[in-house]
């Protein structure tokens, strides 16, 4: 299985970079995993809907360019379907059984994802009703994907 995590923005803090490296190392025994960072657009803190849409659309163009082939796309979306860890594991396992060996998880920037990215996704996944900084969401996602593979393989970890 090949998994790409396409994320808007770069990790800035060392502790987040360390966590990402650790989970990528752990996941490497289960799948080929790659994190692709796309540039984040500058925005202001004024909550300007017009500017926020332009930012999402520009970042969305970059996300589309980062999709090298036609993977099964899963967007992180607070309005998506909430799955627990076992549910995520079953979802990924189902994709494998169906022969879908290329998966891309897509994480938007601080203003979210463009509507084009969301509406063209194969699955909308909500990790929580809480709002996470997009950089932290990446680490949580990597941990949950690792947990999903541990569950699939009947290995202790998920308790």
pLDDT of residue 80: 97
Question: Would you list the domain boundaries of the chain?
Answer: 2-40+52-152
Average pLDDT on 6-26 reads 97
Q: What is the DSSP letter of 45?
A: S
The 10s digit of each residue's pLDDT in 109-141 is 999 999 999 999 999 999 999 989 999 999 999
Question: Would you say residue 44 has pLDDT above 90?
Answer: no
pTM of the model: 0.95
Position 159 confidence tier, pLDDT thresholds 50, 70, 90 = low
CA-to-CA distance for 133 and 127, rounded, in angstroms? Answer: 12
Per-residue pLDDT tens for 67-116? Answer: 978 899 999 999 999 999 999 999 999 999 999 999 999 999 999 999 99
Give domain 2-40+52-152's CATH number out of 3.40.50.620, 3.40.1280.10, 3.10.310.30, 3.80.10.10: 3.40.1280.10
Helix 134-152 to helix 14-27 angle (10° resolution) is 20
Percent of the chain with pLDDT over 70: 99
| DSSP assignments along 127-157, one per residue | S-SS---HHHHHHHHHHHHHHHHHHHTT-TT
């Amino acid at each position: 299985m090949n998994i790409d995590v396409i994320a808007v923005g770069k990790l800035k803090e060392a502790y987040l970079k360390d966590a990402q490296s650790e989970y990528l190392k752990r996941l490497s025994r289960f799948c080929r995993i790659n994190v692709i960072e796309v540039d984040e657009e500058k925005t202001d803190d004024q909550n300007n809907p017009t500017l926020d849409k332009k930012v999402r659309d520009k970042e969305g163009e970059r996300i589309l360019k980062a999709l090298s082939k036609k993977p099964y796309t899963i967007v992180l979306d607070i309005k998506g379907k909430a799955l627990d860890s076992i549910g995520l594991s079953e979802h990924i396992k189902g994709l494998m059984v169906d022969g879908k060996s290329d998966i891309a998880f897509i994480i938007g920037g601080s203003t979210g994802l463009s509507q084009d990215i969301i509406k063209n996704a194969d699955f909308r996944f909500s990790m929580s009703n809480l709002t996470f900084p997009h950089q932290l969401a990446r680490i949580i996602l990597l941990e949950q994907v690792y947990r999903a593979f541990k569950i699939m393989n009947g290995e202790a970890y998920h308790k």
